[in-house]
Homo-oligomer: A and B are copies of this chain.
């Protein structure tokens, strides 16, 4: 089963936006054992979209076309797909009604051209929208198929998981492909990609002979390095068993070199790792953020049930707010002692069991004699206050995001150390 991805939009060709959809879809397809040999980007032009679709159908079993399903004049994917199918577009009244109702529910007036999104090529199946207005389409072309989804990543990904992936898997089974692919991602923070690869190098050689299990490293930047294990089994149980065995082996190799750098599995984030530890021990958390400017708080509140354990935080950006509200000794604020005082002060101000603080220099200029990238994390666990010193790479935005995840990682380790 081979799938080609065709991303639509002149803005992609002009480099005005990045095509994150093809990358996301490529990763999801691979994780499900579905191959992809080509991707294309095409502009908002009827003839060229039709031509790209014909080329794609000439070299793949299925095509996912992203974008061009909106309500404006340059949204022409529906018409291009209808031409490939050799059918007309038909206005589906129930979709039109649903789109109108969506606007009504939000108290907004609907522009008439929104109804273009209710046009469906004859013979296509609608993928209902649950996050936006433009429905997706499953369009049979002989024994092949074109899936049309909106270009908005948030809408595209939901439709892919709910409707396209199951359909692709069913088609793949119908072709007699019955390998079951299972994959697991080990999420690490604090070890470099090449060093991780070196740590599991012996395992790479052992796996070379087998075509059952593969290991890949995905540098996901601000979220650390992901180690993806993929196993191909004869059935689900076989795949899961291969995966469990490989996970144990790889964890052993990584732990032996780096210690506790694996903070989560699959979609588990660093804030999830922190949250589960706080919940398990019935502790509440407060923050004092300077250089991270609210980034840590904004990550924590995304954890479901955060209100059980997250008290809040102070973004003490101006130095004097650190002195007056957190009780930091007036003087330089980028120091280990200031970080510790901030953590102690946040615990008191917010009435939490635990508090974390971050102070540092995002750059480009030095501050308090410290070079950009210098960051101090304070941790108050009850009355015990400690700190961690960091030197982080990158520009302002990078230093901030690295500082946020590093501070959460430091808290994770501190909580484990005091069990």
- Point out the residue from B27, B109, B228, B317 that lies within 8 Å of A301, measured CB to CB: B317
Query: By the criterion CB–CB under 8 Å, are B321 and A312 in contact?
Result: yes
**What string of 1s and 0s marks CB contacts (under 8 Å) between A154-184 and chain B?**
1000000000000000000000000000010
Residues of B near A24 (CB, < 8 A) are: 15
Query: By the criterion CB–CB under 8 Å, are B315 and A287 in contact?
Result: yes
Q: Which residue of B lies closest to A285 (CB)?
A: B317
User: Which of A39, A287, A351 counts the most B-chain CB atoms under 10 A from its CB?
Assistant: A39
Complex Cα distance, B219 from A153, in Å, reads 11
Of A336-344, A391-399, A409-417, the stretch lying at the interface with chain B is A391-399
Query: By the criterion CB–CB under 8 Å, are B111 and A194 in contact?
Result: yes
Query: By the criterion CB–CB under 8 Å, are B17 and A218 in contact?
Result: yes
Residues of B near A80 (CB, < 8 A) are: none
Residues of B near A108 (CB, < 8 A) are: 192
Query: By the criterion CB–CB under 8 Å, are A216 and B10 in contact?
Result: yes
Within 8 Å of chain B (Cβ to Cβ): is A406? no
Query: By the criterion CB–CB under 8 Å, are A302 and B397 in contact?
Result: yes
Closest chain B CB from A57 CB (angstroms): 13
Within 8 Å of chain B (Cβ to Cβ): is A86? no
- Point out the residue from B12, B112, B194, B313 that lies within 8 Å of A71, measured CB to CB: B194
- Point out the residue from B44, B195, B218, B312 that lies within 8 Å of A111, measured CB to CB: B195
Query: By the criterion CB–CB under 8 Å, are A197 and B41 in contact?
Result: no
Complex Cα distance, B54 from A38, in Å, reads 14
Query: By the criterion CB–CB under 8 Å, are B293 and A295 in contact?
Result: no
Query: By the criterion CB–CB under 8 Å, are A198 and B112 in contact?
Result: yes
Within 8 Å of chain B (Cβ to Cβ): is A245? no
Query: By the criterion CB–CB under 8 Å, are A315 and B318 in contact?
Result: no
Query: By the criterion CB–CB under 8 Å, are A317 and B321 in contact?
Result: no
Within 8 Å of chain B (Cβ to Cβ): is A269? no
Q: Which of A69-111 contact B (CB under 8 A)?
A: 70-74, 106-111
Of A141-149, A275-283, A303-311, A380-388, the stretch lying at the interface with chain B is A303-311
**What string of 1s and 0s marks CB contacts (under 8 Å) between A36-60 and chain B?**
1111111111001001100100010
**What string of 1s and 0s marks CB contacts (under 8 Å) between A11-26 and chain B?**
1111111111011111
Residues of B near A14 (CB, < 8 A) are: 26-27, 30, 36, 183, 216, 230
Using known A-B contacts A14-B26, A27-B14, A350-B321, determine if residue A48 contacts B38 with beta carbons closer than 8 Å.
Answer: yes
Complex Cα distance, B394 from A321, in Å, reads 35
Complex Cα distance, B313 from A219, in Å, reads 33
Within 8 Å of chain B (Cβ to Cβ): is A210? no
Within 8 Å of chain B (Cβ to Cβ): is A187? no
Within 8 Å of chain B (Cβ to Cβ): is A289? yes
Residues of B near A398 (CB, < 8 A) are: 154
Within 8 Å of chain B (Cβ to Cβ): is A292? yes
Query: By the criterion CB–CB under 8 Å, are A294 and B315 in contact?
Result: yes
Query: By the criterion CB–CB under 8 Å, are A39 and B37 in contact?
Result: no
Residues of B near A111 (CB, < 8 A) are: 192, 194-195, 197-198
- Point out the residue from B185, B194, B221, B318 that lies within 8 Å of A311, measured CB to CB: B318
Closest chain B CB from A138 CB (angstroms): 22
Closest chain B CB from A240 CB (angstroms): 17
Query: By the criterion CB–CB under 8 Å, are B314 and A315 in contact?
Result: yes
Query: By the criterion CB–CB under 8 Å, are A312 and B312 in contact?
Result: no
Residues of B near A318 (CB, < 8 A) are: 307, 310-312, 350
Within 8 Å of chain B (Cβ to Cβ): is A237? no
Q: A131-B394, A320-B351 are in contact. List 9 more A-B contacts (CB 8 A).
A: A14-B36, A17-B23, A70-B194, A106-B393, A107-B391, A111-B194, A152-B219, A154-B221, A301-B317
Closest A-B pairs by Cβ, 9 of them: A15-B27, A294-B294, A294-B297, A293-B301, A15-B26, A39-B41, A71-B194, A294-B298, A72-B197
14 CB contacts below 8 A, A to B, read A11-B228, A17-B218, A38-B42, A38-B48, A55-B55, A70-B194, A71-B194, A113-B201, A294-B296, A297-B317, A298-B298, A306-B317, A307-B318, A311-B321
